[in-house]
Structure 1
């Protein structure tokens, strides 16, 4: 009986320890990206896109500008959200709707710009990569909400 209790406690302890390690990995990855400057994050994104889509130098310059614009917009929206969060203001339903519309408008504009820059096959690959990215993020959010 003692052995059964010890084995159970050992199993529960190891399981809890393994879950803590998994959670810390997510934070460390996020902290690494947050410690980068916006220019570093933009360059990293450009290099990844160059590898994935085989961009030529002209395309790289055009995509670099788009990434910088999107990054600036995203940082401004984040700063706005953080300011409201510090004031303990939750957005109203109308404000939330307006933020969603603004975000979708930005995505549509980016997609149209990318369509003019990329070749047809590159654009298909880019859309596929984005869809996979959004699916993975959606799954991660679901996992975090369940914990």
Structure 2
């Protein structure tokens, strides 16, 4: 009986590890896309969720392409800094966080200009839901590190 329980626990552990690997691979594959491809996918997801017009789609496509290119460049800079073991000073950290928040404010204004009121309300609701999920996953990730 003990051996049976031990084998069952071992199989459950192996299954859980295999599933975690697949989730991480999916995220890595998104990094391989070009900014245009990422923007196209993002625009199509928004179109499905918010029933966008063709004009709204083209405006969002431009905005997402620009944002994806900037994000990709920042990721490369971050990766280079991380590989060189260079850490940021407090002033640099403040500047990066300030820039990130400014970008979020600008993004929100652009979205408000492109979407109508009902679409914008739905988009806000989607953002809030996604933010809650991200915070939960972050806590989970921190707990696993300890």
TM-score, normalisation: structure 2: 0.90
Q: Report 1:1-147 matches (<5 A).
A: 3-4=1-2, 6-147=3-144
What stretches of structure 2 of length at least 5 have no aligned partner? none
What stretches of structure 1 of length at least 5 have no aligned partner? none
Q: Please list the CA deviations of residues 28-52 of structure 1 after superposition, one character each: whole Å capped at 9, or x if unmatched.
A: 2113312322221110000000111
Give, in whole Å, the separation in 1 of the partners of 2:115 and 2:140: 34
Q: Could you say what the CA RMSD is over the residues aligned between the two structures, in angstroms?
A: 1.4
Q: Which runs of 4 or more aligned residues in structure 1 lie more than 4 Å from their structure 2 counterparts after TM superposition?
A: none
1:18 CA drift (Å): 2.4
1:84 CA drift (Å): 0.9
- Larger deviation: 9-18 or 107-116? 9-18
Give, in whole Å, the separation in 2 of the partners of 1:145 and 1:16: 20
TM-score, normalisation: structure 1: 0.90
- Larger deviation: 29-38 or 62-71? 29-38
Give, in whole Å, the separation in 1 of the partners of 2:134 and 2:48: 21
Larger Rg belongs to: 1
Give, in whole Å, the separation in 1 of the partners of 2:124 and 2:64: 15
- Larger deviation: 122-131 or 34-43? 34-43
